[in-house]
Structure 1
Amino acid sequence: MSLLDRATAPVRTHWRRVFLPAGVVLNSWGNSLYGTPQRNAGAALFLGGFALAFYGMRFWRSFADGWAIVKRFQLWATQRWNELKWQERWRSLRIAAWGIAVFGVILYGWKLLRHIAEEPQRVNEHFLSIPILMGAWTLLPFAAQWAEPLGQSEEQLLERMGARMWRAALGRTVGNTAGIYFAGVMTYVLIFTHRPSLLVPIAITLGAAAIASGHRTWTRLRKLSTQLSKNVRALERDLEKIRSVKHGLDEARDAAHRSWDAVELDLRTNVDTGYAILGTPPLPPEATEALKKRVAQAIEGDPAAAKTVQSNLAKIRAACIERIDSVS
């Protein structure tokens, strides 16, 4: 190895570590340009710097592997992570992050509407809002699924089912509204300079579409809650009949199986949309499967399973009780 190769070996080995600080600098530079006439360039620098910094983080992972203080911190973090209270804090943090994202989209849409109303002729300044709103429309419903706390027990899932359904409906409502905003801003950017007279009727049409979309989502939530509560009540009666019947036990069990089929269908139905991949059911599939096994055991006469199922069904009804609407 030549002297030059030996001298430049560390540079050739670690030069990619410059991506992280360079990305931070570009990100900060783009942020400082966002409120200036170079707004689009600032947004590009901001996003590009963020991506560059995120990519450069991988080259710093082995930098401090030999440091004892880092190993002690990793051990401390692992121990804390396994503690119940820290897991609860992480779950709360995920939900708080989702709430901040939803509030941020709402605030951004309100400010954008105000700016367009005050200065409708400044079309080019609102071009960047199109990909932002499109991203909110696409990602916000998935953010609601991401915010669901991981590692919950079956009891916790049942106790928090009402909040899960509420978050799914709210995320879908704000996401759909952002999608309608996206269509409106794109139309505004494309046609305002040529036919400004169309702006008002298009705004009214899209506003009505946003109201109708939100109404449909919450109506779906109320209908599902009402139907689920009704079917759970029927299943409870059939299970009680199994415990008290003296003759016709097979018929009582068949009726309980049919009642469970109706409950299972409701639990596998998405709260916020009819599209399977994009929606959120009242319970995760694994929790529904666990409940299904316990119900089957209760139908066969297992007293311990029957007691657990009775408690679980009561929690499901409690999650639906505030949204019951028999005329929806």
Structure 2
Amino acid sequence: MSTLHDKSWFDATVVATTMVAEEIKRIELAVPFDVSCKAGEHIDVLLPGAERQLKRSYSIVDADRQAGTVALSVFRTPNSRGGSIMMHTLVPDSRLRVSSPQQDFPLRIGARRYVLLAGGIGITAILSMADTLRRVGANYHLIYVGRHRAAMAYLDRVIADHGEKATIYVDAENKPLNVKQLVAEIDSDTELYMCGPIRLMDAVRRTWHDTDLDITNLRFETFGNSGWFEPEPFTVTVPRLGLTTQVEQDESLLEALERAGADMMFDCRKGECGLCQVKILSLQGRIDHRDVFFSEAQKNEELPATLCCCVSRVSGTDLSPNIELDIP
């Protein structure tokens, strides 16, 4: 069963909204619980007005304990499945249900050196870590990667607060990040924390695995709205349940299965925990793995045994893409 009802939910009120970059809105919420948040924490949000109940997770950028508020920043994705669109409609006095702060991406204090890597909207998870490390006087390097400066939230704040400890890479300025060089400069006493799109995460993970670096020093959080191929509709069949439905371009495989009446297991909805994995019986097309749960070897199998249905999709061939599954 899902974990949707396995936690306490609270009423929150929007107190302010601000556009902090192209398509990125900062949303400040008044919440009825202690907001002494730790770096890397997020809150879960039950989105109002949806035809089907949607839960989304958003990193806490700032928390004001005295005011009782937390601030989120939400990127309106080009192929939103409903979450970012709804969040961008919020205005002061809007109400929604939220969880208390949750921790899936903890920052360990005590390493000799840190590298923090943020790609795009991933800065929302990384910025609080950089702020914490600055306060405790840690040795850290913050790397922020973006398409162009107008699309990079909190860029001025990063430069002002972190100065020489921050390096900015902007694709539009012909200054891309060299992942191999980045990893090559990391030593055995350095911990790397990263958050960003799947392609960036995969590049770092593959390069890291080719070294002798301790894999436990690579820590990450990702978001599953980016993949190797553009999302497109595809058909899913579950023979044991007598179920066939189309997965639309703007919904996940998990959401389509839920809509069709399947009783699904899931938790993170970000391709990290693996709880939503389903068995692949047959495939017409190719799997666009958007998770960080399975290994590269598992993803590169000619016919993968399983996939994480919360984020992964099927992309096309000359024929209509479709997949046949069995659900635990």
Superposition TM-score, scaled by structure 1 size: 0.23
The structure with the largest helix share of the pair is: 1
Larger of the two Rg values belongs to structure: 1
